[in-house]
Amino acid sequence: MIVAGADGCRTGWVVCRRDTDGALDIRVVKTLADACEGLSILAVDMPVGLLDSPRPGRACESEARTLLPGKASSVFPSPCRPALACASYAEANTTSKGLGAGLTRQAFHLFPKLHELDELLRDSSKLRSVIREAHPELAFARMNGGKPVLSRKRRPEGFAERLELLARHGFPWEPRSLPGAARDDFLDAMAVCRTALLIAEGTATRLGAEQERDRYGLPMNIWF
């Protein structure tokens, strides 16, 4: 059973792949499609399934925020489909506001990755059974006995705390640099790779009802 976790980075995606013997392979790939071959599960830190209006929002996001006191802001509101079709932030924000709520610039900056993932899933029914949405902070909270890790991952103490949690749960990593990605991107990819392993083993938790789907039939769930 080979699983992987992916987190977006400046030049593409950081992918942590875990082979059947537990060996980890961590690399940067240009497109998410490059990471899918041979996988049972690929957990991705990116929204899967989008609503047609921003209100009331995806149920899985609301549930995730309640599980992350002190870290709720790490679960950003996903954009609605009409906004995703816009080419500029001003246009997307105006469109989203007209449907009930504005759009953050952080969300707009993810549009290229959102488009890539959305098109991949809409074009391939096979990948719909492989790719699942995950969230690193939920993954770290599970590793931490259900308590959110409140330290900031970009600071030394926060990085070290998460690195120790990963090692304790079978994902040891010797920190190194790879072009086009930040060190915390690697932490997040490993964290959601553990989520992928739990999904494959049948022990992961799903947020959002199983029947929650968007207009294209894509599930709107977050796993951890």
Q: Over the stretch 133-180, which tens digit does the pLDDT of each residue have?
A: 999 999 999 999 999 999 999 999 999 999 999 999 999 999 988 888
Measure the CA–CA gap between 12 and 27, rounded to whole angstroms.
Answer: 10
Measure the CA–CA gap between 82 and 53, rounded to whole angstroms.
Answer: 8
Assess if residue 109 is contained within a domain: no
* Nearest in space to 188 (alpha carbons), one of 4, 6, 61: 6
The whole domain housing 37 covers 3-48+130-201
pLDDT of residue 176: 87
Assess if residue 154 is contained within a domain: yes
The DSSP secondary-structure symbol of 167 reads H
- Backbone phi and psi for residue 169, each to the nearest 5 degrees, phi listed first: -105, 25
Mean predicted confidence (pLDDT) in 199-224: 97
First to last CA, the chain: 18
Assess if residue 67 is contained within a domain: no
Assess if residue 143 is contained within a domain: yes
User: How many domains, the chain?
Assistant: 1
Angle between helices 156-168 and 183-201 (to 10 degrees): 30
Evaluated on CA atoms 204, 208, 212, 217, the torsion sign reads: negative
Provide the 3-class DSSP secondary structure of residue 135: coil
pLDDT, one tens digit per residue, over 23-71 is: 999 999 999 998 999 999 999 999 999 999 999 999 999 999 999 999 9
Share of the chain above pLDDT 90, in %: 96
Global pTM value: 0.95
Assess if residue 32 is contained within a domain: yes
Assess if residue 42 is contained within a domain: yes
Assess if residue 216 is contained within a domain: no
Sole residue written with tokens 């509101």: 77
pLDDT of residue 177: 84
Assess if residue 211 is contained within a domain: no
